[in-house]
Amino acid sequence: MLSNNAAPKVMSDSRPLTGGCVCKSVRYVCTGEPQRVTICHCLWCQRRTGSAFGTEVVFAEENVSLSGIEPAKYRHVSDESGRWLDTYFCPRCGSNLGFTLQAVPGIRTVPAGTLDEPGLLNPKQMKFRHVFTRSRRTWCDLTSEVEAYERHFRA
């Protein structure tokens, strides 16, 4: 047995994270390690994902390379802050493909569920946070492995 296969490494840079939409029209490759993973329980993320939370794997924008057809984009402008947030999705199958936002320039997210191997994201090996847990669905349990904030860690 090869010794270098003995233990999983921390998001080895020899193995970029890849993913894409359900219909495979949009694909992406992420180089380098994610800066963090943010699981957002805000009502807006619940609505835009149609789920209980958004799962954002945060990368430097230049580290995410898209291929295939051009994702569709929807610009949401916050009533509160007046700042924009661009969400991306496949124009064919509608899969969520993450966002970029005015508040944090230079980053791009990909949703954890669109990764080819979501199991590569390990809360023990990178910064994982739950935010806006004040609007968490009561039927959605949180793991104690991950930090949790009632609002946002920047708030």
- Exposed/middle/buried for residue 90 (C-beta within 10 Å: 0-12, 13-18, 19+): buried
CB 69 within 8 A of CB 116: no
CA distances from 134 to 36, 48, 151 (A): 21, 18, 7
23 in the Ramachandran plot: left (φ > 0), alpha (ψ -120 to 50) or beta? alpha
By CB under 5 A, which span of 6-14, 15-23, 104-112, 138-146 interacts with Zn ion?
15-23
Q: Of 101 and 121, which CB lies nearer to Zn ion in the complex structure?
A: 101
Selected from 17, 57, 85, 90, the binder of Zn ion by CB under 5 A is: 90
CB 131 within 8 A of CB 152: yes
Question: Shortest approach of Zn ion to residue 69 CB, angstroms?
Answer: 8
By CB under 5 A, which span of 2-10, 25-33, 56-64, 146-154 interacts with Zn ion?
25-33
Q: Does residue 72 belong to the site contacting Zn ion (CB under 5 A)?
A: no
Selected from 17, 30, 39, 40, the binder of Zn ion by CB under 5 A is: 40
Q: Does residue 93 belong to the site contacting Zn ion (CB under 5 A)?
A: yes
Selected from 18, 25, 35, 102, the binder of Zn ion by CB under 5 A is: 25
Binding site for Zn ion (CB under 5 A): 21, 23, 25, 40, 42, 45, 90, 92-93
